[in-house]
A and B are shown apart, each in its own frame.
Chain A
Amino acid sequence: MTLLAVDSLSKTFGGGARRGTRSQVEAVVDLTFKVEAGEFLTIIGPSGCGKSTLLRLLAGLVQPDGGQIYLQGQPLPDASDRQGRFGYMPQRDTLLPWRTVLDNVILGVELAGGSRDAAREEARQLLPLFGLDGFENNWPSTLSGGMRQRAALLRTFLAGYDILLLDEPFGALDALTRRMLQQWLLGVRRRFSKTILFITHDVDEALLLGDRMLVFSPRPGRITADLKIDLPHPRDENTILEPDFLTLKRNALAHLKL
């Protein structure tokens, strides 16, 4: 079942009638793709290619200049239509420093007007899975980078949206922590029936985690390839060494022109 459909989406920054003097930057051009329910879609491309703009368009933080976004067949033309419909996780660490881990992760439920106590209870049960057991009363500043990202992910998962938009969640982590979190996310993903759009600029990460991969061109971002990643599950740290994986990687790199 198609859950999300993006049709000829375009966005240009700057310029416009009022700010005509400033040079215009085409961020994304004519993006068209569909996402099935439960699919893990990775999006890869060089930095500045408009991957983040796509997620911001979906999350209702930016208005497109052209094209349409459909959720379950329903068009969502206005930014306010899309706000509160997607679990968006920005690239930079966005835990609230003045809230404990537990009160950070229940933010989505709280903003939606749900019961905070019920949300806290649900969160407590998920803390071990997210490697945060015993840290629920910590301030975010006392956590390691990996733990902060897991807490931000838990907040995104708990907010209760069907579609999660993750903007390079592991981008700022060191290589080892990153490896560990990739393996962890593979495990966690099977426990939740979420549809995930996952931005990365790491080909290994994109192929290891995804069911499908979109390749973006350099700016302005266009989709240059839509590759199915038919590697069997469960995947683990050895997956990236297998011949099938390397074949896929060669193909992906060719599309990225690297």
Chain B
Amino acid sequence: MQAARLFLPAAVLLTLAILWELVVWGLEVPKWIVPSPSAIWLAFWEMRALLGLHVAQTMLEVAIGIGIAVAAGVSVAAAINFSPLLQRAVYPLLVISQTVPILALAPLLIIWFGFGIAPKVIVVTLFCFFPIAVNTSDGLTSTEPDLIDLFRSMGATWLQIWRKVRLPAALPYFFSGLKIAATYSVTGAIVGEWVGAKQGLGIYMLRSSAAFKTAQVFSAIVITSLLSIMLFLAVFALERGMMPWHFDER
């Protein structure tokens, strides 16, 4: 079933790649303007050892950034659902914060935190925090009032209500947010690296582009996409594992 659903898009992608290859060969487009898919593959293969180091650096930034975003996002969501006053005070600020262009913030972060890993992690966190916080918050507010009534009628404590009703009820929302965050996160790390870094896919792209090694830029772009897809699938797998009731037809 899964394989069958993937077949059609894969076939389209392959057809496009072949067309691309033929057009580049046929029109003799210079490699530094648009490289052919085979040239991109070659660029990847030649640089694979070095690319591995760059990918490792970028993924480290992504992992730390998502981790902080999850902890902060869930905490903020829980806090604003705990206190209506906090909700009125903070929720609009959350939305406003999302309108600040993170791209413009990145150079400032370099000024404040230097060229180490910190500014990249902060950019990833900024990208990921909002979808997690807002989705989790919406999930926590959406708990069925009847379920809470049932628990109250059974004399449940507020801690029991949170642990056994509100948090599990918010899980699907949390995962929606996490899936969006996961797909943003790699891009976030690369944006952070563009402004200044010693290692990472972003700086690799910049250097390759400065040297007109267009095929290398393309190979880094493809890797970025693949990493984002992998992260998305990893979150999806985690979701299935943690919410079997959502997927099982037992």
- Tell me the A residues contacting B by CB distance below 8 Å: 56, 59-61, 83-86, 88-92, 94, 96-99, 107-108, 111-112, 137-139, 141-142, 159
Contacts and interface: CB of A to CB of B under 8 A. Distances in A.
B234 interface: no
Contacts of A91: 146
A84 B149 contact: no
B165 to A, nearest CB: 7
Contact of B168 (A85, A92, A98): A98
A85 B149 CA distance: 14
8 contacts: A56-B149, A61-B153, A84-B155, A85-B155, A88-B154, A90-B149, A96-B164, A99-B245
A83 B154 contact: yes
B115 interface: no
Contacts of B246: 97
Given A88-B153, A97-B245, A98-B245, A139 B250 contact: yes
Given A137-B250, A139-B250, A59 B153 contact: yes
Given A83-B154, A139-B250, 8 more contacts: A83-B152, A83-B153, A94-B146, A98-B169, A98-B243, A99-B245, A142-B249, A159-B154
A88 B150 contact: yes
A94 B250 contact: no
A194 B249 CA distance: 35
A94 B148 CA distance: 9
Given A111-B154, A111-B160, A141-B245, A96 B250 contact: no
Given A90-B149, A92-B146, A94-B147, A139 B248 contact: yes
State which size class the interface on B falls in.
20 to 34
B248 A94 contact: no
A50 B50 CA distance: 73
A60 B245 contact: no
A84 to B, nearest CB: 2
Contact of B155 (A83, A89, A142): A83
Interface of B: 144, 146-147, 149-156, 160, 164-165, 168-169, 171, 243-246, 248-250
B147 A96 contact: yes
Contacts of B164: 96, 111
* Residue among A61, A86, A92, A98 facing the most chain B CB atoms (10 A cut-off): A98
A107 B161 CA distance: 12
A215 B246 CA distance: 42
Contacts of B245: 97-99, 139, 141
Contacts of A112: 154-155
B149 A107 contact: no
A83 B244 CA distance: 32
A60 B152 contact: yes
Nearest to B157: A111
Contact of B154 (A56, A84, A97, A98): A84
A159 B168 CA distance: 22
Contacts of A88: 149-150, 153-154
B59 to A, nearest CB: 31
Nearest to B147: A94
* Residue among A88, A97, A138 facing the most chain B CB atoms (10 A cut-off): A97
A92 B144 CA distance: 10
Given A96-B164, A98-B245, A60 B153 contact: yes
Nearest to B156: A111
A53 B249 CA distance: 37
B147 to A, nearest CB: 6
Contacts of A59: 149, 152-153
A79 B246 CA distance: 35
A183 to B, nearest CB: 26
A253 B244 CA distance: 49
A96 B156 contact: no
A82 to B, nearest CB: 8
* Residue among B144, B150, B171, B245 facing the most chain A CB atoms (10 A cut-off): B150
A35 to B, nearest CB: 18
B237 to A, nearest CB: 18
